[in-house]
Structure 1
Amino acid sequence: MRGIKILLCLLIVYLLLVMAGAEQNNAVNDSRHQDMKNLIGKISDEITSGLEDVERANEKSAKTFSNGTLEGEYVSTVLNDKVSAIPFAHSSLVILPSGLVTAAAPAEYQNLVGMSLNDTAVITANKKKRPVLSDIFLLTEGFYGVSLSYPIFSPEKNYLGYTDLTFRPEEFLRQYIIPAVEQSRYDIMILQPNGLIVYETNEEEIGRDAISDPLYAEPTLHQAAINITSQRAGTSSYQFWNQNWNKKVPREAIWDTLEFDGQQWRIVVISDIGDSEPVKNLKINITTEKTEDLNSSILSLTEYMENATDYAKNHGKKEVLSVFNNQSGPFVTGDRYIFAYDMNGTALALPFQQGFIGKNRMNLTDVNGFSILPAMIDRASDGGGYLYFVYPNPAENYTPMLKLFQVKPVDDSWFIGSGIYIPQIQASISPQNLSDLNTRVKKAAMHADDIGKEKAIADFNDINGTYADGGDYIFAYGYDGTTLALPHQPELIGTNRSDYTDQFGCQIIRMEIDAAKRGGGYVYVVYGNPDTKKNELKLCYVTPAGDDWLVGSGIYTGQNLDG
């Protein structure tokens, strides 16, 4: 009898502990849910404010055109001013009710003038005759855009057409979402009700269809996508790769809907709610070398890459990729591992992020917006080379760190790479500084469009002028590598620098030309800072200024790399 009483007491204690644990878990869940909902509200407010700024700029230009002047130099100047004033702006058009384009900015889109457009965004804007935020759509350059339109009415209220502003969703949304992710460690995505992804923390997923894409075919994830797209707000749990893409875990999504000018965006905040067994062979066992002598490390990296390239060329591709993907294999050593991609950007080997294997990553960008795969493919296509960007370090809980990479082609269809983490150099740039950089460069390009190439280059080279302001100076190069503007190094004007490399072997002029030819983008360089007279890491932004030349500027990190 006494034994039964003891067992009953133990059972009661156990039940009390279970209930206490359940209450504690519920409290934790409630707190996390509230944090996620608060984050959704904050992001929604910030995005709405940003879209309202664009709409005001559109409204101002639309009222300017209400007198019926919808083409010509004056209209182009108004559009240019609008685009240059908005850091994330891609282009702006004036379109008649028939779909005919009568004006376009910047200058590289003048070829659209005279064309009749009949895509969904144009048809919808002309049909609604009110401000419309379009669905995401594929731009001619191969990346995705969103257009915000505003109607043009005459004083007599006759509809004349509309003007718009098109932007890449990641360039607009990154300024709000990246800081939120860094502070909260949640993943954030934005979906249209039709399932198309407008933004994802893993930016290479932008433009995918969350309902039909094979990437999201896992049953619980597919059901979550259906729930999110069909319901204005809610909560859903599913199983998927974690934020680092190195293991599958239970995840929870909470979402709500932002509405703006006829468009609905589901704002989704995602949290890991548990952990599962890591994917086979993914045991993190590397440590980051605190690099003191980069030159010595580069020599070591070069030898390592030569051995990997020889191995790849002398063995079957299937065997090679199996070895490169093996964390315990001969090519994982210290803080180094080999990755591999095909020339279309599909991941073939990533030993610490095997969730990406077989996935196309052409839209992958780092925390500052640098387009990773196009730059690596350019270097591999040129026979190999070096480049920098920020990438997660698996030895440091996948913390993004600056890394110097080398890539080399195996054959015409695929390439390999590896790199050196440089944790002592902080390369993350604030959204405001990135915005200021974009604005600075776009205004320089607009200046060239307004007054002509020759006069603009003279202005850029004027050491006492507004375009040569210390480290914020504007530079310019021809697509053949000819130096057109470099105000703090006038002795280089007119010289060809297409083969110039920085102190760590990066062919920075070629990279800037390649980025400009793709429509513009970021490039990391190590270059002399005219303010400090030291070589520093610099994030440059470049954009086309015409058919055969570019303009750019940069942000110095203030961190000396002279040793």
Structure 2
Amino acid sequence: MLSALDRITGEISNDLAIIREENQKSAESLRTIGISGENATSVLERKLESVHYGHSSLIISPDNIVTAAAPVTFSGLIGTDLSYQPETSFANERQEPVISNIFYLEEGFYGISISYPIFSEGDEYLGYTDVTIRPEEFFRPVIGPFTEQTGYEVFILQTDGMTVYATNEFEVGKNFLTDPIYDIPEMRNVSHAVLENEDGTVTYTFWDKNSNRQVPRQAIWDTLSLDNQEWRVAVVRNLEEAEKQKGAEDQELGSDNLNASLTNLTQFVQDAAIFARTTGQESACAAFNNLSGPYVSGDRYIFAYTMNSTTLALPYQQGLLGKDRPDLFDMNGFSIMPALIDTAGQGGGFMYGVYPNPDQDFQNQLKIYYVEPVDSDWFIGSGLYIPWIQAEFGSEEIDALISRVRQAVRHADLVGKEQAIMDFNDLNQSFADGGSYIFAYGYDGTTLALPHQPELIGTNRMNLTDVYGVPIITQEVRAAERGGGFVYVVYYNPDSGNNELKLCYVLPAGEDWFVGSGIYLGRGLT
């Protein structure tokens, strides 16, 4: 949950930073042309073209008067005195970037103003320009896919208790401390715990809209602070099903049992593919989506997608049927959908990913997928969850991994391919630091850098698979060809001498080769 929380707050911060940057650009333009008139309006219109979730943009004078507005539907606000809005006065008082509190706007909805000050070329304060967002439109693209994949809920609070966003969007604009829907002693205690502490974890009981009753829940939260604003961002999960399944994560299987399970998985998917080719897409997907049918049993089920990522079968998440999921990624940043499509396009096979287990309260767990194309237009797959493997890598580890690979690319740019490869293979250099070593391959599979296995340098390993049949180099090549990304493999760890689960990150280093590195989990799958 903590890694997921870090990822959500990171994405929100990035989206806010984009708006801040566009606000800054428009403020620079307004330095010379002034804060009113057609030219000023044109600046606002161009800004909104670059901000996907911007609802409107205004220019406010130091005396709180609207001097320009975009789009044209908001031009009627020009000349309006907004002095009655504390958020407007606050932005003018601060004369610096401000993310406002949530408040009821002149436009007739709850919104947030993200503002940036405007100064003349002589550094005279002229007012500010903003982008107004509706919380539902701004946060839903980040939080919606997460809640759909995990079953978890998310809420965002101001420190005064106002709800900035919640998975149940009915709660937006309500106050955790005063609204009647939270007026039970336990919820009041939760509210104070979250609002009075920058981070923490709390267990409580609250109404669950899916089961229509009170259920035990756990919330973990952190604080996002930016531009005079402080939000508590929390992830919530239902503990009831997790308790029922308690002990599953400690389950241990021998390699023989795992291999037997993978054999059964392969047969299950292959039989389903034959059924799909025989009956056709519509009938087959109806069967795959039937929760009482032969293709759904606990955490074993058939999913189906078109080759362009449209969902055809997903029995436990049928709200996603018909929707495109090209950006589906897991909690560690691995792009699941492109890898599924690549695997299917190559005739099918195995791959790893982390995905919510419907049989264990949609907790994220490591999963070995087996995928097979039905024809050139669509594919199916299923997976084997590995609940005893904790596959959540820390955000600091992942950030360090990305930085390490980017540094290797910069080094190659600086010294050239030939010298860089020599440096990557030099055990006396930092590029070959134990399990954090840099590897390099040509797009044809030729081994260029592998410092702890020098005997393999120069060999072609395109057909290399790990102990569970996952094509290692092929996946890395495909990820690099897409511009870079993450890949899971089971591979030799020079620090331990064992084959271990590894999260790799790869980037293209030139037209015909790529570099990468990885984080080892510290154990294999058995």
Contact kept in structure 1, 2:222 and 2:234, CA below 8 Å? no
Residues 1:558 and 2:522 are matched in the alignment: yes
The counterpart of 1:202, out of the listed 118, 142, 145, is 145
The amino acid across from 1:477 in the alignment is Y
Once the two structures are aligned, what percentage of the paired residues are identical? 48
Partner of 1:350: 314
Q: Please list the CA deviations of residues 517-562 of structure 1 after superposition, one character each: whole Å capped at 9, or x if unmatched.
A: 222211100101111111111111112222332111111111135x
Q: Show CA shifts across 1:283-338 (max 9, x none).
A: x9xx9996432222222222112111100100032221121112221223464221
User: What's the counterpart of residue 292 of structure 2?
Assistant: 328
Q: CA deviation at 1:47?
A: 6.8
* TM-score of the superposed pair, with normalisation by structure 1: 0.56
Separation in structure 1 between the aligned mates of residue 371 and residue 263 of structure 2, nearest angstrom: 14
Per-residue deviation, 1:247: 5.0
Name the TM-score, length of structure 2 as normaliser.
0.60
Query: Paired residue for 1:120, among 39, 50, 53?
Result: 50
CA contact (8 A) 2:166 2:172 kept: no
Secondary structure of 2:372's counterpart equals strand
Q: C-alpha separation between the residues in 2 aligned to 1:384 and 1:343?
A: 12
Alignment of 1:419-430 (within 5 A): 419-430=383-394
Farther off after superposition, 497-506 or 334-343 = 334-343
CA distance in 1, matches of 2:262, 2:324: 29
Distance 1:49 1:318 in 2: 38
Residue 279 of structure 2 aligns to a residue whose secondary structure is coil
Between Structure 1 and Structure 2, how many residues are aligned? Answer: 385
Q: Alpha-carbon deviation of 1:452?
A: 1.8
For residues 91-127 of structure 1, what are the alpha-carbon distances to aligned partners after superposition, in whole Å with 9 as ceiling and x for unaligned? xxx99x89xxxxxxxxxxxxxxxxxx99637xx9xx9
Q: Does 1:491 align with 2:481?
A: no
Name the amino acid aligned to 1:547. Answer: E
Match of 2:397 among 433, 438, 446: 433
Partner-residue secondary structure (3-state), 1:425:
coil
Q: Which runs of 5+ in 1 are unaligned?
A: 1-38, 60-93, 99-116, 135-147, 159-190, 207-220, 238-244, 276-283
Q: Which residue of 2 aligns with 1:318?
A: 282
Where in structure 2 are the equivalents of 1:3-402 lying within 5 Å? 120=50, 193=135, 195-197=137-139, 199-200=142-143, 202-203=145-146, 225=169, 228=172, 260=226, 269=234, 291-292=253-254, 293=256, 294-333=258-297, 335-402=299-366
Q: Secondary structure at the match of 1:199?
A: helix
Compute the RMSD of aligned alpha carbons.
Answer: 5.1
Question: Offset at 1:265?
Answer: 9.7
Equivalent residues of 2:224, 2:233 under 8 A apart:
no
The verdict on how the C-alpha distance between 1:274 and 1:481 changes in structure 2, with shifts beyond 3 A counting, is: closer
Secondary structure at the counterpart of residue 559 of structure 1: coil
Specify the alignment match of 1:90 in structure 2.
none
Cα distance in structure 2, aligned partners of 1:485 and 1:258: 41
Which letter does structure 2 place at the counterpart of 1:491? Answer: E
Q: What secondary structure sits across from 1:420 in the alignment?
A: strand
User: Contact 1:247 / 1:355 at 8 angstroms: preserved in 2?
Assistant: no
Change (3 A) 1:260 1:476: same
Q: Deviations over 1:353-374 (max 9, x none)?
A: 3232223222222121111111
